[in-house]
Amino acid sequence: MPEPTVQRGLEDVVALESSLCFIDGRGGRLIYRGYDIRDLAANATFEEVAYLLWYGQLPNRGQLDELRQRLVMLRTLPPELLTILDRLPTTSSPMDVLRTAVSALALLEPTESQPGVTSIGGALRLTAALPSILGYYHRRRSGQPAPPTHPELSHAAYVLAVLRNGPIAPLDEKAMDVALTLHADHELNASTFAARVTASTLSDLYSAITSAIGTLKGPLHGGANERVMELLEEIQLPERTEEVVKAKLARHERIMGFGHRVYKVEDPRATILRDWSHRVGEEKGNLSYYDRLRRVEEVVHREKGLYPNVDLYSGSVYTLLDIPKDLFTPVFAVSRVTGWTAHVLEEYQDLRLIRPTSNYVGPTDLTYVPIDARP
Strands 35-36 and 21-24: unpaired
**Under a CB-based contact definition with an 8 Å cutoff, are residues 16 and 196 in contact?**
yes
Q: Is residue 311 among the annotated active site residues? A: yes
> Shortest gap between Cβ of 143 and ligand SDX (angstroms)?
33
Which residue among 138, 155, 186, 260 is the active-site one? 260
CB of 53 or CB of 256, closer to ligand SDX: 256
Strands 35-36 and 29-32: antiparallel
Which amino acid is located at 165 in the chain? N
> Shortest gap between Cβ of 214 and ligand SDX (angstroms)?
14
Q: Is residue 155 among the annotated active site residues? A: no
**Under a CB-based contact definition with an 8 Å cutoff, are residues 214 and 220 in contact?**
no
Alpha helices, DSSP H only, in the chain?
37-43, 46-55, 61-73, 79-87, 94-108, 121-141, 155-163, 170-183, 190-200, 205-216, 224-235, 241-250, 268-284, 288-304, 311-320, 328-349
Q: What are phi and psi of 32, to 5 degrees?
A: -105, 115
* Burial readout 242-281 (b: 16 or more C-beta within 10 A, e: otherwise): bebbeebbeeeeebbbbbbbbbeebbbbbbbbbebbbbbb
> Shortest gap between Cβ of 117 and ligand SDX (angstroms)?
25
> Shortest gap between Cβ of 189 and ligand SDX (angstroms)?
3
CA distance 368 to 240: 60
| Binding region for ligand SDX (CB under 6 A) | 9, 186, 189, 220-221, 224, 254-261, 304, 306, 309-311
Q: Nearest 10 degrees: CA dihedral of 163, 108, 50, 346?
A: 140
Which residue among 177, 278, 311, 343 is the active-site one? 311
Which residue among 36, 221, 275, 291 is the active-site one? 221
Q: Kind and range of the H or E element at 150?
A: none
CB of 309 or CB of 341, closer to ligand SDX: 309
CB of 38 or CB of 141, closer to ligand SDX: 38
**Under a CB-based contact definition with an 8 Å cutoff, are residues 162 and 168 in contact?**
no
* Burial readout 165-189 (b: 16 or more C-beta within 10 A, e: otherwise): eeebeeebbbbbbbbbbbbbbbbbb
Q: Is residue 260 among the annotated active site residues? A: yes
Which amino acid is located at 223 in the chain? G
> Shortest gap between Cβ of 185 and ligand SDX (angstroms)?
8
| Adjacent-strand bridge partners of 32 | 21, 35
CB of 29 or CB of 140, closer to ligand SDX: 29
Coil, strand or helix: which one is 36? strand
Instruction: Find how far residue 225's CA is from the centre of its chain.
Output: 10
CB of 147 or CB of 257, closer to ligand SDX: 257
CB of 132 or CB of 198, closer to ligand SDX: 198
> Shortest gap between Cβ of 221 and ligand SDX (angstroms)?
4
CB of 85 or CB of 273, closer to ligand SDX: 273
Q: Closest-CB residue for ligand SDX? A: 259
> Shortest gap between Cβ of 242 and ligand SDX (angstroms)?
15
Which residues are the active-site residues?
A: 221, 260, 311
